[in-house]
Each structure stands twice: as structure tokens, then as C-alpha cells.
Amino acid sequence: MVTKREIKRIIALLLSATVVFSSQLLTAHAHNSDYFSGTYTASQSIKDMNFRIESSAITSLLTSQVYYSAYAWDNVSSNVGTIGIAIAAPGMPSSGFIIVTGKSYTDGTLGETIPRKADGSIANVDDNWAGVSIRMNTNSNAFSGASNPTTAAKKTFIHEVGHTLKLSHPKKNSSLSGHIYNGLPRAVMNQGYPNSQAVASTVVTHDKTNLRTKWGT
Ligand SMILES: [Zn+2]
Ligand SMILES: [Zn+2]
């Protein structure tokens, strides 16, 4: 089972970025180029990002402990710094946070990341993003296909946070070192449940290498 809706969103965005990816293929396409172009506009910093988990995103499976798993990105790159996770409470400000909401999907979505322009419309992946948000699937059956639903839920949030850091899905290419799983490397940025060897349940070397190539060590 893969995240069909997320694929649709990211693939649609990828399609509009074909030119950029083609030029990378001709010049610098490499093992460590699994990330989008661009950065954030002044309204959102890549350094020390804070996420606000709305009550709609909390379920018996999607607990605070699931969301704290995003700390796996902490200090991989000094320019990204550390992740902040705030479980929303009455009176807590919403400005300065990347908002994480929940929605019940029945189409195979596990989670999705939505980059935005300043006017609120959806941005292309390679644009400079004015903001971003995450939606997690709160349907009670959402993670039932996973061998370990809690691990899969953690993996999903870590993966979506990876997208907010402008990481993309690893490119399939059997000739690249470590791409030993049907052309894919082991990475949390692979899609799907961590039931297969290619889909890591947390941040691993391939993810770290790409984050550091994108943002610096
Ligand atoms: Zn690779
Ligand atoms: Zn994804």
C-alpha cells in the first residue's frame, strides 16, 4: 500500500518541475540530489522549525509520542538545527508554527505535505515556499496495513517533516551505490509503510546525506 493521494500531490508537483529535474539529470544528477530546489521566503525559516499539532491530528494512534519522533531530524544539518513540536492547547499562538492537522482519508493517504505561495495557493515543489502545512490521516484504518501501526505513523510524520525540509522521494536508479532495493536506497523518504527493507522507520544515512547536501552540514 502506498500513499496514493500524496503521490498524486507530489507527482503533480514533480511534473511541473520536470525541466529542473531534467537539467539535473544532464549535469549534476547524483545519489545525493534527492531534494527540491528553492528555499523559504522570509516568512518561514528553515532553521529550528516549529510544528503545532492541532487537536484534529491527535488520535489514539497519533499521539504526542508519534509527533516527537520528528526529533530524528535534529542537528543532522546545523542550518536546519532542531525541530520543535508543540501540542496545541487553548491560548497557544499559531503564528510561527507549521500547522499539522488531521483528516480522515480512505484513499490510501498516510499523510501529505502542502507547500504554499504567499497568496495561499499551492506552490510548486521547486518554488521558494512562503509556508507549508502537513495533514495526517486520522482514519482509524489508515495504518492497519502496517506490520506495526505505531512505527508506520511515526515514519509517516518523520517523512512529511522531511518534505517540509524540501527533501524529495529518492530517485530509483540501480546503478547508484546503496540502491539495492529494486533501484531504491533505504530511506525514510521512500513512500509506503516500513514493512519493506527500503522504507526506513526513521532518518537514516541516505536521508541525512541529502539534507546536508541541500542545506549544509
Ligand atoms: Zn541515492
Ligand atoms: Zn512523500
Q: What is the tens place of the pLDDT at every residue in 50-84? A: 999 999 999 999 999 999 999 999 999 999 999 99
Rounded CA separation 105/111 (Å)? 9
CA of 2 to the centre of ligand 1 (A): 20
More confident residue, 30 or 96: 96
101 falls in which pLDDT band (50, 70, 90)?
Answer: very high
Contacts for 162 with CB less than 8 Å, ≥ 6 apart: 73, 188, 189, 203, 207, 211
Q: Taking all residues of the chain, what is their mean pLDDT, rounded to a whole number?
A: 89
CA of 183 to the centre of ligand 1 (A): 9
**Contact at 8 Å (CB) between 73 and 39?**
no
Contacts for 179 with CB less than 8 Å, ≥ 6 apart: 31, 170, 172, 173, 185
Partners of 133 in the β-ladder: 114
pLDDT tens sequence across 15-60: 333 333 333 343 335 778 999 999 999 889 999 999 999 999 999 9
Look at residue 146 and tell me whether its pLDDT is greater than 80: yes
CA of 207 to the centre of ligand 1 (A): 9
More confident residue, 159 or 2: 159
CA of 138 to the centre of ligand 1 (A): 31
More confident residue, 67 or 2: 67
Percent of the chain exceeding pLDDT 70 equals 86
Look at residue 99 and tell me whether its pLDDT is greater than 60: yes
Partners of 21 in the β-ladder: none
pLDDT value for 10: 52
CA of 40 to the centre of ligand 1 (A): 24
Residue range(s) defining the domain that contains residue 8:
4-215
Contacts for 185 with CB less than 8 Å, ≥ 6 apart: 31, 170, 176, 178, 179, 198, 206
CA of 4 to the centre of ligand 1 (A): 22
Look at residue 6 and tell me whether its pLDDT is greater than 60: no
pLDDT tens sequence across 158-172: 999 999 999 999 999
- Residue 205 main-chain phi, psi, to 5 deg: -50, -45
CATH of residue 122's domain is 3.40.390.10
Number of domains the chain is built from: 1
- Residue 22 main-chain phi, psi, to 5 deg: -65, -40
pLDDT value for 12: 42
9 falls in which pLDDT band (50, 70, 90)?
Answer: low
87 falls in which pLDDT band (50, 70, 90)?
Answer: very high
pLDDT value for 3: 53
Strands (E), 66-195: 84-87, 98-103, 111-116, 131-137
